[in-house]
Amino acid sequence: MGIEVREVGRFRLPWALFCFWVLMVGWVSPVFAHAQRQNAMWVLWENGGVRLGMQVSSGEIAAVSGLDPAQAGSEGFDAAAREHAVYVLEHVEVGGDGEALQGALVKVTPPVAVGDEEGTLYLFEFFHSWKRGVPERLGISHRMLKEYAYSPGQPWEVSYVVRFKREGSEEVESQLLTRTQPVEFGGRVEPGVAGAVGGGGVGRFFREGVHHILSGYDHLLFVSALVLVAGSFWGMVRVIGAFTLAHTVTLVLSVFGWVRLSSAVVEPAIAASIVCVAVENLLWPGRTGSWMRTVVAFAFGLVHGLGFAGGLLSAMEGLPGTEVLLALAGFSAGVEIGHQMVVLPLCGLVGWAGARWPAGPSRSGAETVLQRYGSAGIGLAGLYYLVLALGLL
List the domain boundaries for the chain.
5-30+213-389, 36-193
In this prediction, residue 143 has a pLDDT band, given cuts at 50, 70 and 90, of: very high
Residue type present at position 99? E
Question: Among 78-92, 104-118, 243-257, 368-382, where is mean pLDDT lowest?
Answer: 243-257
What's the pLDDT band for 138 if we cut at 50, 70, 90?
very high
pLDDT at res. 198: 42
CB 212 within 8 A of CB 335: yes
Amino acid identity, position 281: N
Paired residues of 163 in beta bridges: 42, 174
| 88 vs 239: CA distance, rounded Å | 44
With CA atoms as reference, report the closest residue to 73 among 64, 61, 63: 61
Of the segments 94-98, 330-334, 364-368, which one has the largest average pLDDT value?
A: 94-98
Average pLDDT over residues 359-367: 65
Average pLDDT of 270-298? Answer: 83
pLDDT digits (tens, 9 = 90+) for 94-107: 998 888 999 999 99
Please answer whether residues 167 and 44 qualify as being in contact, where contact means their C-beta atoms are separated by less than 8 angstroms: yes
pLDDT for the residue numbered 392: 76
Top pLDDT among 319 and 259 is at: 259
Please indicate whether residue 283 or residue 104 has the higher confidence score (pLDDT): 104
Mean pLDDT, residues 148-175:
80
What is the average per-residue pLDDT within 20-37?
44
Cβ neighbours, 10 Å, residue 181:
15
Tens of pLDDT, residues 54-81: 999 998 999 999 998 889 989 999 999 9
SS3 126: strand
- pLDDT for 105: 96
Q: For residue 8, name the pLDDT band (cuts at 50, 70, 90).
A: very low
- Mean pLDDT score of the chain, rounded to an integer? 78
The residue type at 5: V
Q: What's the mean pLDDT in 254-258?
A: 74
- pLDDT 10s digits, 216-243: 778 888 888 888 887 677 778 888 888 8
Per-residue confidence (pLDDT) for residue 188, from 0 to 100: 45
Portion of the chain with pLDDT greater than 90, in percent: 21
Q: What is the pLDDT of residue 116?
A: 76
Most confident of 263-272, 276-285, 366-375: 276-285
Whole-prediction pTM value? 0.67
pLDDT band of 26, cuts 50, 70, 90: very low
Confidence at residue 312, expressed as pLDDT on a 0 to 100 scale: 61
Q: Which ranges in the chain belong to alpha helices (H)?
A: 12-28, 58-65, 75-91, 201-214, 217-228, 233-255, 263-283, 291-309, 312-315, 321-356, 366-389
In this predicted structure, the answer to whether residue 190 has a pLDDT above a threshold of 70 is no
Distances (CA, A) of 234 to 76, 231, 281, 347: 57, 8, 18, 11
Report for 136-140, 204-208, 285-289: range of highest mean pLDDT:
136-140
Lowest-confidence segment of 49-63, 161-175, 264-278, 304-318 by average pLDDT: 304-318
Q: CB count, 10 Å around CB of 54?
A: 22
The mean pLDDT value for 3-30 works out to 39
DSSP state of 47: S
Q: Percentage of residues in the chain with pLDDT exceeding 70?
A: 78
More confident residue, 27 or 114: 114
